[in-house]
Amino acid sequence: MVYNWPLRPQWLIPSHCQLCLAKDPSGLNLCRACHDDLPWLTLACPRCSLPLHYPGQLCGACQHHPPIFDTGIALFHYAPPVDQLILQLKFAAGLHQARLFAALLGARLAKVPSPDCIIPVPLHPSRQRERGFNQAIEIARPLSQQLRCPLDIESCIRTRPTPPQSLLSGSQRRSNLRDAFALTRPLQARHVALVDDVLTTGSTLNAVAKLLRKAGAERIDVWVCARTHRNA
Ligand SMILES: [Zn+2]
Ligand SMILES: [Zn+2]
């Protein structure tokens, strides 16, 4: 796999920034200057985290058809170099990137009301076997430790493999996720945070939120690393 900026395995240069190679004692392989230069998402729709140019208001889509989840927080625009960090996490088993995202998300969420549990968006077992891990779990696990909030990776499962939403038309997207998720036991939590790497159409997170809502969840927050600029 070819990357367009110098990603290097952290075990080769454990105390250096992975972006500029400056010395970095933080343990995150990200120096302060590169941290500050990341494409932080500061103005966004509070419901679906769509990037906006004005603060504090719902986006047009959420004013008419809000998602089932109640709040959405995305750390970054889906833009360089974060898009490459996420690709590395998913397709090159860059699990140290999951720890980095968890640390940054944890800092961002320190003042957000704590949910009863964190549920990472499940992968179908066949996809998880193929990849060797679920990136949402890898982000959610250290995040749950940092926030001292229980992690639940057993209640919600993916019952069938589904093609990526981005490859489908509108009507295919709607049917693609129908009954794609299920609960394995009654939901105890009333306030749940769903975690995923990227929010693109929001339809996957919405499908899980629908299931949790039906099972009695009163508040559902969505926490993701990055948000694309359009709901498509
Ligand atoms: Zn740097
Ligand atoms: Zn919105």
Domain count along the chain: 2
CA of 42 to the centre of ligand 1 (A): 21
Q: Give domain status of residue 199, yes or no.
A: yes
Tokens read off for 165? 């939403």
- Average pLDDT value for the chain: 90
Closest ligand to Cα 62: 2
pLDDT in tens, 67-104: 999 999 999 999 999 999 999 999 888 888 999 999 99
Please identify every residue whose CB atom is under 5 Å from ligand 1, which is an ion. 17, 19-20, 22, 31, 34
pLDDT for res 14 = 66
pLDDT in tens, 34-59: 999 999 999 999 999 999 988 878 99
Say if residue 19 is in the same domain as residue 113: no
8: pLDDT strictly greater than 50: no
CA of 43 to the centre of ligand 2 (A): 11
CA diameter of the chain: 50
pLDDT for res 170 = 73
pLDDT in tens, 132-186: 999 999 999 999 999 999 999 999 999 988 887 777 777 787 788 888 999 999 9
Say if residue 98 is in the same domain as residue 14: no
- Its domain, for residue 21, covers 1-37
CA of 9 to the centre of ligand 2 (A): 36
| 105-116 burial code (b ≥16 CB/10 A, e <16) | bbeebeeeeebb
**What is the identity of the amino acid at 43?**
L
Say if residue 89 is in the same domain as residue 176: yes
CA of 102 to the centre of ligand 1 (A): 18
Closest ligand to Cα 34: 1
Which residue spans within the chain are E strands per DSSP?
A: 71-77, 117-120, 156-158, 181-183, 191-199, 219-227
CA of 164 to the centre of ligand 2 (A): 21
Say if residue 49 is in the same domain as residue 30: no
Q: Is the pTM of this model over 0.85?
A: yes
Q: Give domain status of residue 72, yes or no.
A: yes
Read off the CATH number of the domain in which 118 is found. Answer: 3.40.50.2020
